[in-house]
Amino acid sequence: MASQSLLDSLNPKGHLEIIKRYTTGETELVLSDHNIITNGMGTTLASLFSSENASESFDNFALTYFQIGTGTNLMHVSATTLHTPLPLADYGDTDLTVSAHGMSTGVSPDPYFVHINPAHISKISSTKITYSLVLDEATANGSSLTEIGMFSKNPTLSTPTISYLCAYRTFTAVAKNDSYSLILKWTIEF
């Protein structure tokens, strides 16, 4: 009998909804489909389960960052980065917390990540978590968005912080402008 990987035995799944919410209050569903759970999720979970330091913050193993981008990668479990994540300047006048730090691939310079506010994370059941990510009317305008990824914070407890891509999705280009907010509802299930 062949041995299963941690990802195979847990069988995590993801589902992404992308919704335009216009300033008039109207909404438009752009995408409602699965995403790819990547090998970074396996690294994150294996690091969590094997951590010998009980005082280590769970936050290091949680999905606490996302990136949005304008390129496309193959949607494959071995994906480790977004093809073209937005640079800081492209986020524009945003209330989001955007910062740069390292990632598992050692890309240089350090890419920018958006911190996921814990208030926007909901436990739906004992096996499901939904992340509600919002790019408001003032954020990422002028960008043609085509990809998104969620990242664990620092599962290998590296100094400095090194994030891992855990879930990835490409989608048909959305030309972001100030007439709408983009709501990204991402559900991860184990």
Q: Count other C-beta atoms under 10 Å from residue 178's C-beta.
A: 14
Tokens of residue 137, six digits? 């009317």
Q: What digits encode the pLDDT tens for the residues 116-141?
A: 999 999 998 888 999 999 999 999 99
State yes or no: cis peptide before 160, omega within 30 of 0: yes
Q: What is the pLDDT of residue 44?
A: 84
Q: What is the pLDDT of residue 60?
A: 83
Q: What percent of the chain has pLDDT over 90?
A: 59
At residue 3, does pLDDT exceed 60? no
Q: What digits encode the pLDDT tens for the residues 13-57?
A: 899 999 999 999 999 999 999 988 999 888 888 877 776 665 567
Q: What is the mean pLDDT of residues 62-76?
A: 88
At residue 85, does pLDDT exceed 70? yes
Q: What is the pLDDT of residue 1?
A: 46
At residue 112, does pLDDT exceed 50? yes
- Per-residue pLDDT band for 158 (boundaries 50, 70, 90) equals confident
Q: Which of 37-41, 78-82, 113-117 has the highest mean pLDDT?
A: 113-117
Q: What digits encode the pLDDT tens for the residues 169-185?
A: 999 999 999 999 999 99
